Amino acid sequence: MAHHAVSGRAEGRRVARKIIIDTDPGQDDALAILLALASGEALEVLGLTCVAGNVPLGLTTRNARRICELAGRRDVPVMAGCDRPMGRDLVTAEHVHGEDGLRGVDLPAPTMPLDSRHAVDFLIETLREAAPGTVTLVALAPLTNLATAFRRAPDIVARVADIVLMGGAHRALGNVTPVAEFNIHVDPQAADIVLCAGAPVTIVPLDVTHKALVTPARNAAFAALRTRVGQVAAALSRPTGRESARHGGLGAPLHDPCTIGWLLAPDLFAAREVNVMVETGSELTMGMTVMDWWGVTGRAANARVLHDIDADGFFDLLTAGLARL
C-alpha cells in the first residue's frame, strides 16, 4: 500500500504537510494541537474538526477554540461535527479529563467563533478541493466524523494522503475494557469503516503511547519554559498521584501528541505493516483492534502500526515545540 513521503521539496525549502486534526479535547489532544501549531513550516493545520468523545461535543468545540487562542492562532477554523457515535450511545471520559475536558485548567472562555460549516462537510470539501494525496487526516478521537464523511462521499477516500490515528492496542490490551482502547471502543463501527475504506492508515496504539510517560521531570520541563503555554502544558499533564500500576508508577501516558511526533520525526518510532480488524459484534470484546502481527490470517496489511518510541527524543521534540509558542 502506498504511503506518501513526509514532505516534498520546492526551491530548496520544505513544503508544509497539510493536515486536518479531528479531535475531542481532552488534555492530551490539547498538547497534540499545540505541538502541531508550533511546528512552523513542517505542518499546515487546515482546521480542527471536533467530535464527541472525551467529553460531549459542546465542550470539545469550546476546548479546541480555547487551545487555538492560547497558541495565538485564531485563524484556524474550528468546526463542530458528530455529537454521538454511529450506532451506539456516547461514552465519555470525564473521570480522566475532568468535567470540562481540560482538567479545569485556567483558560479563558473562547472569543473566536465556531466555524459555521459542519465538520463532515469541511472534510469532504477540503479533500475534494485539494490535490489528491496532499491532505493528511490526524484523528485523535472516536472516528465518527471520518467514517461519516467516507460513507457520504466515497470519492474522497482515494484523495487522502494518510490517516494517522491514535487508537487501538495490541500487546498493551485495553484501557476502557480488558481489550479495547477508548477511541475505538466509543465508535467501533466508525473505526471499522475507516480501516476498511482503503486509504493509507498509520495507527498509534497504546503500545506506543504507554511508553510516552509524563514523568515528574518531563512535566517540570514544560513548567521551566516560563511561558503561558508552558504553564498550561504542565498543568494539563501534571501527574496526579493516581497513575496506573500498569505504568510502574512512573507517570501518565501522553497519547495524542504521539501522532504529531510521528509526522514530525518518524525516526523516533518503530513501525510494522499488518492487518488490523475491529470487533463490532461482541459486547465482550467490542472495539478490540485485532492485529495480525504474525500474518496468520493471510489478510493483506491495511495499516502501519507503530509499536515503539524513543520517549526521551519525543519529549525533547514536544518541549522544544511548546517553547516556540
- Per domain, the residue ranges of the chain are 9-323
Which of 188, 172, 145, 150 has the alpha carbon at shortest distance from 283? 188
User: With 60 as the cut, is the pLDDT of residue 312 above it?
Assistant: yes
Q: Are strands 269-278 and 303-309 parallel, antiparallel or unpaired?
A: antiparallel
Superfamily name and number for 9-323: Ribonucleoside hydrolase-like (3.90.245.10)
- 28-37, 93-102, 153-162: lowest mean pLDDT where? 93-102
pTM: 0.95
Q: Spell out a b/e string for 73-92, using b for 16 or more CB atoms within 10 Å of the CB, else e.
A: beebbbbbbbebbbebebeb
**Pairing mode of beta strands 289-292, 160-166:** unpaired
Q: What does residue 50 show for φ and ψ, rounded to 5 degrees?
A: -100, 150
pLDDT for 91 beyond 60:
yes
* pLDDT number for residue 13: 59
Q: Which three cell numbers stand for residue 197?
A: 475504506
The pLDDT > 90 percentage for the chain reads 90
Name the pairing type of β-strands 160-166 and 252-253: unpaired
Res 14: pLDDT:
73
**pLDDT of 1 strictly over 60:** no
The one-letter amino acid at 210 = H
Distance CA 255, CA 28 (A): 6
Nearest to 140 by CA among 207, 197, 186: 186
Which of 50, 39, 1 is closest to 17 using CA atoms? Answer: 39
The helix/strand/coil state of 246 is helix
pLDDT at 241 over 80: no
pLDDT in tens, 204-221: 999 999 999 999 999 999
pLDDT (average), residues 288-307: 98
CA distances for 225 relative to 75, 161, 220, 228, angstroms: 25, 34, 9, 9
Q: What is the pLDDT of residues 106-165, one digit of tens each?
A: 899 999 999 999 999 999 999 999 999 999 999 999 999 999 999 999 999 999 999 999
Give the whole-angstrom CA distance, residue 74 versus residue 259: 23
Question: Is 255 designated active site?
Answer: yes
What is d(CA 81, CA 50) in angstroms, rounded to the nearest whole number? 5
Alpha carbon distances (Å) from 315 to 42, 311, 318: 18, 6, 5
Considering the candidates 97, 185, 210, 255, report the single residue annotated as catalytic: 255
In the chain, the amino acid numbered 168 is G
Query: By the 8 A CB rule, do 19 and 263 touch?
Result: yes
pLDDT at 62 over 90: yes
Q: Is the pLDDT of residue 57 over 90?
A: yes
Answer yes or no: are the C-beta atoms of 197 and 163 closer than 8 Å. no
Separation between Cα atoms, residue 239 and residue 245, nearest integer Å: 13
- The answer to whether 80 touches 46, Cβ cutoff 8 Å, is no
- What is the reported pLDDT for 193? 98
pLDDT at 101 over 70: yes
Q: What is the mean pLDDT of the chain?
A: 94
Asked whether 112 and 74 are in contact (CB, 8 A), the reply is: yes
CB atoms closer than 10 angstroms to residue 111: 9
Q: How many CB atoms lie within 10 A of CB 95?
A: 7
SS (H, E, C) 118-178: EHHHHHHHHHHHCCCCCEEEEECCCCHHHHHHHHHCHHHHHHEEEEEEECCCCCCCCCCCC
Residue 232: per-residue pLDDT: 97
Residue 10 has pLDDT above 50, yes or no: no
Between helix 27-37 and helix 57-70 the angle, nearest 10°, is 40
**pLDDT surpassing 50 at residue 261:** yes
β-bridge partners, 138: 21, 164
Amino acid, res. 8: G
